[in-house]
């Protein structure tokens, strides 16, 4: 119970900073819209429809996600905030959970803007299974944020932070990309079938990497 | 003068190269040529052992990464780096032989079939491992980041495999082999495994020497501490 309160406290702190500075969201949302636009222009009108839209949304999520995770971690690097956080009488796992939660809130906020734009530009008809779409994307974002939060904490102390983060997170999240796009194509193109196996992979990814990242965090975090 | 370690290495390499020569001889003389694919099928005897050894090398990276996070001794880090490099080399071999096979069996160099996709994703995972190592300057930070990545990447492998299987498949799930072919395959595991181990050991030695040398350079480069005169300006 106390741990939960601490997690919420940390998340609230991050979100409060974000609400006052509006540094991350503005940047990340604009980047996402730019990516969707560039890909829309590049692919042209003939490529519109389900599969292309999911792929484009994924590219937008991946890049804006990496930027988002990097920014929220960079916040802690200012004025030795992280050292203070590590000195606080908290379990390190709680720090991870708090960061993950605030990253998730931000990513859902970003997704709430980018996704409609992508759907609009690519003429993706969601009306058949809106809830299925939300569930798949939501679960993918959880797994993505779990890995991203851990690696953001790891590479933030290195000189190349941003580029390196993208490089380590992208290959690890490939299973999410494959299983969610496969589920989408089954759900929207092939008469609304629910791809159970892909869903199981998504679920397994979320569980494994939330738990492992949470455990690994205290071994790797350094002020 | 020769340490047991050096003797072990020399034995490994001698056995590996000798068995490689024997395996090539057997492949040319004894192994029957497959009916539909012809001589190209023989690439399979190299392909499968390399694939299995890639996993073994990845497993070594995983164990060494956990070892490093646990004990923080540099030799775990050097071992992980060595194994990752060998894993990438082997996985490149798997990809190339697989593509040659694909070209001859299905007429295409590349298809997004599960196993090809899986090999590519595995290759990317460990190429990124090596790139991460190259791009972090602080030795201690590099070791921690790459160890964490080594653990996560290995845990990702089964998920990558399962997700790749969601793609439509044309790769042979199991290949029917007659007895001499099975024997050839079994024989080919010997040199490939020995050479893979030999490469990991050689690379590990090099990493250890490199670390010693780095330490030496740091000692030489660091200026001697300035003498402080108590209570006054030096």
State the angle between helix axes of A92-122 and A130-155 in degrees (0 to 180), rounded to the nearest 10. Answer: 130
- List the single range of B47-56, B82-91, B182-191 with lowest mean pLDDT: B182-191
Band (A83; pLDDT cuts 50, 70, 90): confident
Please count the CA atoms within 13 angstroms of the CA of A214 that sit on its side-chain side: 15
Q: In Å, how far is A220's CA from the nearest CA of chain B?
A: 6
For the segment B52-76, the average pLDDT, to the nearest whole number, is: 93
User: What's the pLDDT score for residue B233?
Assistant: 44
Tell me whether residues A172 and B153 touch, CB distance under 8 A: yes
In 3-state terms chain B splits into helix, strand, coil percentages (rounded to 5) of 80, 0, 20
User: What's the pLDDT score for residue B223?
Assistant: 60
Cα gap A205→A175, rounded to integer Å: 8
Q: In Å, how far is B222's CA from the nearest CA of chain A?
A: 23
Tell me whether residues B152 and A195 touch, CB distance under 8 A: no
Query: Which residues sit opposite B34 in a β-bridge?
Result: B38
- Choice between B139 and B223, residue whose per-residue pLDDT is larger: B139
Two tokens, residue A116: 């409609």
pLDDT of residue B67 exceeding 50 = yes
pLDDT, tens digit (0-9, with 9 covering 90-100), for A34-46: 998 888 888 776 6
Radius of gyration for the alpha carbons in chain A, expressed in angstroms and rounded: 18
Q: In Å, how far is B153's CA from the nearest CA of chain A?
A: 6
Which among A159, A175, A197 is the nearest to B159, CB-wise?
A175
**Cβ contact B142:B84 at 8 Å:** no
User: What's the pLDDT score for residue A126?
Assistant: 76
- List the single range of A134-148, B22-36, B195-209 with lowest mean pLDDT: B22-36
Band (B183; pLDDT cuts 50, 70, 90): confident
**B39: DSSP letter:** G
- Choice between B107 and A214, residue whose per-residue pLDDT is larger: A214
Number of residue pairs across A and B with CB atoms under 8 Å? Answer: 93
**A173: DSSP letter:** T
Q: What is the DSSP string of B64-103?
A: HHHHHHHH--HHHHHHHHHHHHHHHHHHHHHHHHHHHHHH
> Is the ipTM above a cut-off of 0.90?
no
Tell me whether residues A220 and B163 touch, CB distance under 8 A: no
Two tokens, residue A195: 């791809």
Band (B181; pLDDT cuts 50, 70, 90): confident
Closest CA to A58 of A160, A197, A212, A179: A179
Q: What is the DSSP string of A14-80?
A: HHHHHHHH--HHHHHHHHHHHHHHHHHHHH-GGG-SHHHHHHHHHHHHHHHHHHHHHHHHHHHHGGG
Q: What is the DSSP string of B140-208?
A: HHHHHHHHHHHHHHHHHHHHHHHHHTTS---S-SS----HHHHHHHHHHHHHHHHHHHHHHHHHHHHHH
pTM of the model: 0.86
Mean pLDDT of chain A: 86
Which among B141, B145, B159 is the nearest to A201, CB-wise?
B159
Radius of gyration for the alpha carbons in chain B, expressed in angstroms and rounded: 23
pLDDT, tens digit (0-9, with 9 covering 90-100), for B68-124: 999 999 999 999 999 999 999 999 999 999 888 888 888 888 888 888 888 999 999
pLDDT of residue B200 exceeding 80 = yes
How many secondary structure helices (H) and strands (E) does chain B include? 6, 0
pLDDT, tens digit (0-9, with 9 covering 90-100), for A102-116: 999 999 999 999 988
- b/e string for A97-134 if b means 16 or more Cβ within 10 A? bbbbbbbbebbebbbebbbebbbebbebebeebeebbe
Which among B145, B156, B166 is the nearest to A172, CB-wise?
B156
Q: In Å, how far is B117's CA from the nearest CA of chain A?
A: 11
**Is residue B121 less than 8 Å (CB to CB) from chain A?**
yes
**Cβ contact B114:B167 at 8 Å:** yes
Cα gap A42→A187, rounded to integer Å: 26
Cα gap B215→B182, rounded to integer Å: 50
Closest CA to B91 of B196, B218, B216, B219: B196
Tell me whether residues A208 and B159 touch, CB distance under 8 A: yes
**Is residue B135 less than 8 Å (CB to CB) from chain A?**
yes
For the segment A82-91, the average pLDDT, to the nearest whole number, is: 86
Q: In Å, how far is A169's CA from the nearest CA of chain B?
A: 9
Tell me whether residues A150 and B152 touch, CB distance under 8 A: yes
pLDDT, tens digit (0-9, with 9 covering 90-100), for B121-174: 999 999 999 999 988 888 888 899 999 999 999 999 988 888 888 877 666 656
Highest mean pLDDT among A41-45, A117-121, B34-38 belongs to A117-121
| Cβ neighbours of A198 in B, within 8 Å | 163, 166
Band (A63; pLDDT cuts 50, 70, 90): very high
User: What's the pLDDT score for residue A147?
Assistant: 93
pLDDT of residue A118 exceeding 80 = yes
**Cβ contact B146:B77 at 8 Å:** yes
Cα gap B120→B88, rounded to integer Å: 11
| Cβ neighbours of B166 in A, within 8 Å | 178-179, 182, 195, 197-198, 201
**Is residue A64 less than 8 Å (CB to CB) from chain B?**
no
Tell me whether residues B125 and A216 touch, CB distance under 8 A: no
Which among B144, B151, B164 is the nearest to A178, CB-wise?
B164
**B112: DSSP letter:** -
pLDDT of residue B228 exceeding 80 = no
User: Cα–Cα–Cα angle for B30, B12, B53, nearest 5°?
Assistant: 70
Phi first, then psi: give them for residue A84, nearest 5 degrees: -60, -45
User: What's the pLDDT score for residue B227?
Assistant: 52
User: What's the pLDDT score for residue B232?
Assistant: 45
pLDDT of residue A156 exceeding 90 = no
Which residue on chain A is closest to B167 by alpha carbon? A182
Tell me whether residues B159 and A167 touch, CB distance under 8 A: no
Band (B234; pLDDT cuts 50, 70, 90): very low
Which among B128, B135, B159 is the nearest to A204, CB-wise?
B159
Which residue on chain B is closest to A210 by alpha carbon? B152
Cα gap A76→A68, rounded to integer Å: 13
Tell me whether residues A171 and B148 touch, CB distance under 8 A: no
Which among B124, B135, B136 is the nearest to A171, CB-wise?
B124
Closest CA to A221 of A53, A97, A104, A137: A97
């Amino acid at each position: 119970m106390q741990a939960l309160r601490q997690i919420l406290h940390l998340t609230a702190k991050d979100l409060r900073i974000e609400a006052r500075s509006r540094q991350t969201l503005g940047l990340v949302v604009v980047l996402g819209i730019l990516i969707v636009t560039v890909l829309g222009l590049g692919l042209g009108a003939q490529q519109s429809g389900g599969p292309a839209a999911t792929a484009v949304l994924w590219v937008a999520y991946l890049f804006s996600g990496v930027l988002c995770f990097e920014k929220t971690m960079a916040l802690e690097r200012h004025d030795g905030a992280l050292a203070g956080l590590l000195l606080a009488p908290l379990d390190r796992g709680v720090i991870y959970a708090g960061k993950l939660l605030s990253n998730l809130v931000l990513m859902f906020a970003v997704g709430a803007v980018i996704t409609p734009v992508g759907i609009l530009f690519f003429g993706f008809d969601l009306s058949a299974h809106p809830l299925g779409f939300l569930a798949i994307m939501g679960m993918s974002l959880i797994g993505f944020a779990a890995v991203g939060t851990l690696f953001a904490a790891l590479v933030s102390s290195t000189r190349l932070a941003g580029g390196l983060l993208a490089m380590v997170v992208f290959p690890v999240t490939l299973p999410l990309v494959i299983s969610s796009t496969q589920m989408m194509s089954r759900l929207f193109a092939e008469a609304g079938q629910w791809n159970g196996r892909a869903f199981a992979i998504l679920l397994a990814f979320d569980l494994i990497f939330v738990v492992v990242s949470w455990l690994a965090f205290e071994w790797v975090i350094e002020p | 003068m020769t340490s047991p370690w050096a003797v072990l290495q020399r034995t490994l390499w001698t056995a590996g190269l000798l068995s490689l020569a024997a395996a090539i001889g057997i492949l040319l003389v004894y192994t029957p040529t497959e009916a539909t694919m012809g001589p190209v099928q023989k690439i399979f005897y190299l392909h499968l052992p390399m694939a299995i050894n890639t996993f073994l090398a990845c497993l070594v990276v995983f164990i060494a990464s956990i070892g490093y996070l646990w004990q923080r001794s540099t030799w775990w880090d050097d071992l992980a780096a060595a194994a990752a490099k060998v894993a990438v080399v082997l996985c490149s071999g798997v990809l190339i032989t697989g593509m040659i096979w694909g070209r001859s069996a299905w007429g295409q160099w590349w298809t997004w079939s599960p196993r090809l996709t899986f090999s590519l994703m595995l290759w990317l995972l460990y190429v990124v491992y090596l790139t991460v190592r190259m791009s972090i300057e602080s030795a201690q930070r590099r070791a921690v980041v790459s160890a964490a990545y080594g653990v996560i990447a290995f845990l990702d492998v089964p998920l990558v495999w399962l997700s790749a299987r969601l793609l439509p498949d044309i790769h042979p799930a199991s290949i029917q082999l007659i007895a001499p072919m099975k024997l050839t395959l079994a024989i080919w595991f010997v040199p490939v495994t020995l050479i893979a181990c030999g490469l990991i050991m050689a690379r590990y030695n090099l990493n250890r020497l490199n670390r010693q040398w780095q330490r030496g350079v740091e000692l030489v480069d660091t200026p001697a501490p300035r003498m402080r005169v108590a209570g006054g300006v030096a």
